[in-house]
Chains A and B, each alone.
Chain A
Amino acid sequence: MTDTAPNPLRDPRDKRLPRVAGPCVLVLFGVTGDLSRKKLLPAIYDLANRGLLPPGFSLVGFARRDWDHQDFRQIAYEAVKEHARTPFREDVWEHLSEGMHFVPGEFNDPGAFDALAMAVKELDASRGTGGNYAFYMSIPPKFFSTVTEQLQRSGLADRSENSWRRVVIEKPFGHDLKSAQELNDIVHRVFPEESIFRIDHYLGKETVQNILALRFANTMFEPIWNRYHVDHVQITMAEDIGIGGRAGYYDGIGAARDVIQNHLLQLLALTAMEEPTSFSSEAVRAEKAKILSQVRLPDDLSLATARGQYAAGWQGGVKVAGYLEEDGIPQSSTTETYAAVKLEIDSRRWAGVPFYLRTGKRLSRRVTEVAMVFQKAPHQPFSQTDTEELGQNALVMRVQPDEGITVRFGSKVPGTSMEIRDVNMDFAYGESFTESSPEAYERLILDVLIGDPPLFPRQEEVELSWRILDPVEEHWASQTKVDQYKSGGYGPESSDAMMARDGRVWRRL
Chain B
Amino acid sequence: MNIDLTNTTTRRIQEALTQARHVMGGPAVGMVLTLIIVTDESAQYDAVRAATEAAREHPCRVLTVISRDARGSSSRLDAEIRMGETGPGETVLLRMYGPLAEHADSVVVPLLMPDTPVVTWWPGGRVPKAPASDPLGALAQRRVTDSYAARDRLGTLARLAEVYRPGDTDFAWTRITNWRSLLAAALDQDHDEITGGEVSAEPDSPSAELLAAWLEVRLGVRVVRASSDGPGITGVRLVTKSGDITVSRPDGRVATLARPGQPDRQVSLQRRPMADLLAEELRRLDPDDVYQDAVTRFAKDLSAATAPQDAKAEAEAADRAADKGADKGGAAKKAAPAAPAKRSGSSK
Contact = CB atoms under 8 A, between A and B. Distances in A.
Interface of A: 1-2, 4, 7-11, 13-18, 20-23, 48-49, 51, 53-56, 89, 91-92, 94-95, 98, 125-128, 130, 162, 404, 426-428, 430-433, 435-437
Given A130-B189, A428-B30, A436 B56 contact: yes
B187 A9 contact: yes
Interface of B: 27, 29-30, 32, 56-59, 87-88, 174, 177-178, 180-185, 187-190, 194, 215, 218-220, 253-257, 259, 262-270, 279-280, 284, 286, 288-290
A430 B189 contact: no
B251 to A, nearest CB: 9
Contacts of A433: 57
A16 B263 contact: no
| Residue of B185, B219, B263 with most partner-chain A CB within 10 A | B185
Given A89-B270, A95-B267, A436-B56, A17 B180 contact: yes
A326 B236 CA distance: 60
Contacts of B262: 128
Nearest to B32: A430
26 contacts: A1-B188, A8-B194, A8-B218, A9-B219, A14-B180, A15-B288, A16-B180, A16-B288, A20-B181, A51-B267, A53-B267, A54-B267, A91-B253, A95-B268, A125-B263, A128-B265, A162-B190, A404-B30, A426-B29, A430-B56, A430-B58, A431-B27, A431-B88, A432-B56, A432-B57, A437-B57
B59 A430 contact: yes
B276 to A, nearest CB: 10
A17 B184 contact: yes
Nearest to B58: A430
Given A8-B187, A20-B184, A92-B268, 4 more contacts: A17-B177, A94-B268, A98-B266, A430-B58
B57 A55 contact: no
A49 B270 CA distance: 9
B184 A9 contact: yes
B188 A56 contact: no
A92 B269 CA distance: 8
Contacts of A92: 268, 270
A272 B29 CA distance: 29
A11 B218 contact: yes
Contacts of B190: 1-2, 4, 162
A2 B27 CA distance: 50
Contacts of B58: 430
A18 B184 CA distance: 9
B290 A11 contact: yes
B263 A56 contact: yes
Contact of A435 (B56, B183, B220, B264): B56
10 closest cross-chain pairs (CB), A and B: A56-B265, A55-B265, A55-B267, A20-B185, A432-B56, A436-B57, A9-B184, A431-B88, A128-B262, A92-B268
Contacts of A8: 187, 194, 218-220
A48 B267 CA distance: 8
Given A9-B219, A14-B290, A127 B263 contact: yes
| Residue of A53, A98, A432 with most partner-chain B CB within 10 A | A432
Contacts of A427: 29-30
Nearest to A48: B268
B182 A20 contact: yes
A88 to B, nearest CB: 12
Contacts of A435: 56-57
Contacts of A51: 178, 181-182, 267-269
Contacts of A127: 263, 265
A54 B265 CA distance: 9
A4 B266 CA distance: 26
A91 B190 CA distance: 28
B9 to A, nearest CB: 29
A56 B87 CA distance: 37
A9 B57 contact: no
| Residue of B27, B30, B279 with most partner-chain A CB within 10 A | B30
A398 B32 CA distance: 19
A303 B268 CA distance: 59
| Residue of B181, B255, B259, B279 with most partner-chain A CB within 10 A | B181
Given A9-B218, A128-B263, A433-B57, A91 B268 contact: yes
A49 to B, nearest CB: 8
